[in-house]
Amino acid sequence: MGERFLHKPVLLQEVIHFLNPAPGETIIDATIGGAGHAAKIMQMIGAAGTLIGIDRDSESLNIARERLKSLEGTFKLVNRNFKDIKSIVQGLGTGKVDGILFDLGISSIQIEAGERGFSIKSAGPLDMRMDRGTQLTAGKLVNGLSEFELSGLIKDFGEERFHKRIAKGIVRAREEKEIRTTAQLAEIISASVPHKFRWQRIHPATRTFQALRIRVNGELEAIEEALKDAPELLKKGGRVCVISFHSLEDRIAKTTLREFKVSGVCRVLTKKPVMAEEKEVLENPRARSAKLRAAERIT
């Protein structure tokens, strides 16, 4: 496997600090991706430990398998949506676990594969499915939703202030011809926002791409469902860590962890979200927006 395909794990030291994996433990990496975090966790739980790795993207799981197979210890990989985490764990007959990690969103492996359609920078079809077995694609949304629906989607899931203009621009463009590629869409969005916003550090299509990806993959519902099941799967003293990359995800993590605290089942280990140090952000720009929250089961 070439370096190019490796995803650099974000907040690795911080995740290890809060998960605190010890020899012989069982840890779930609910978003195993390129197994960056998982490889370190496996080294720490050692030969007697078990890592359960979940990903809804089968291609990422193949990369994770390659990376983990030379390490000591047991790993079990599951190609499913983590929203079913409870039934996944029941199905494996693992019993309660010592730690659960959610590193949300998509990996560099997925972004860099232009044909997956996640990236504004590399041309590809308007796909954006993490699990290529599902039906809904970004193309279907972009070409099928009404202007009102598009505007609402871009506003709610992209928190994009120019949602109305962008929706109008998309509808106008698709009247001439179907919008098929990421490059076409990015260009339409750039041309829809006011001139002075076209050349900022962040591409003007970033928030719309985020909105489409969230909707295509039902991302927020999955996080909500899986997180609320987390304490039930943990042993007393077991920990859950969540890394989010935008405010919609972080809001869910913050609210859910607070609910665990209020119900007396967990204590929150992170008063404020933990963010990457400057050095990490310089080495890995993805880390810039990462926020880590963690909780520990106390009953």
**Among the listed residues 242, 220, 179, 205, the one whose alpha carbon sits nearest the alpha carbon of residue 30:** 242
Which residue carries 């969103």 as its tokens?
105
Site string for ligand SAM, 130-169 (x = CB under 6 A): x---------------------------------------
Q: Which stretch binds ligand SAM (CB under 6 A): 104-112, 172-180, 188-196, 208-216?
A: 104-112
Give the pair of three-digit tokens for residue 103.
């590193």
Structure letter (DSSP) for residue 48? T
Contact 293, 267 (CB under 8 A): no
Residue in 19, 28, 54, 274 binding ligand SAM, rule: CB under 6 A: 54
For ligand SAM, give the closer residue by CB, 87 or 263.
Answer: 87
**Among the listed residues 60, 54, 107, the one whose alpha carbon sits nearest the alpha carbon of residue 222:** 54
Q: How many residues belong to the site for ligand SAM (CB under 6 A)? A: 22
Give the pair of three-digit tokens for residue 55.
């990903």
For ligand SAM, give the closer residue by CB, 166 or 253.
Answer: 253
For ligand SAM, give the closer residue by CB, 81 or 210.
Answer: 81
Binding of ligand SAM by 56 (CB under 6 A): yes
Structure letter (DSSP) for residue 69? T
Binding of ligand SAM by 60 (CB under 6 A): yes
CB of 36 to ligand SAM, least distance (A): 3
Instruction: Name the residue type at position 224.
Output: E
Binding of ligand SAM by 280 (CB under 6 A): no
Binding of ligand SAM by 204 (CB under 6 A): no
CB of 52 to ligand SAM, least distance (A): 12
Contact 248, 159 (CB under 8 A): yes
Beta-sheet pairing, 26-29 with 97-103 = parallel
Site for ligand SAM in 210-229 (CB under 6 A): 222
Q: Which stretch binds ligand SAM (CB under 6 A): 26-34, 92-100, 152-160, 254-262?
A: 26-34
Paired residues of 97 in beta bridges: 234
For ligand SAM, give the closer residue by CB, 28 or 179.
Answer: 28
Residue 72 class from Cβ within 10 Å (0-12 exposed, 13-18 middle, 19+ buried)? exposed
Q: Which stretch binds ligand SAM (CB under 6 A): 18-26, 99-107, 188-196, 204-212?
A: 99-107
Binding of ligand SAM by 37 (CB under 6 A): yes
Q: Determine what percent of the chain falls in helix, strand and coil, rounding each to the nearest 5.
A: 50, 15, 35
**Among the listed residues 54, 41, 39, 33, the one whose alpha carbon sits nearest the alpha carbon of residue 15:** 41
Greatest Cα-to-Cα distance within the chain, rounded to the nearest angstrom: 61
Q: Using CB under 6 A as the criterion, which residues of the chain lie in contact with ligand SAM when the complex forms?
A: 7, 9, 31, 33-37, 54-57, 60, 81-83, 103, 105-107, 130, 222
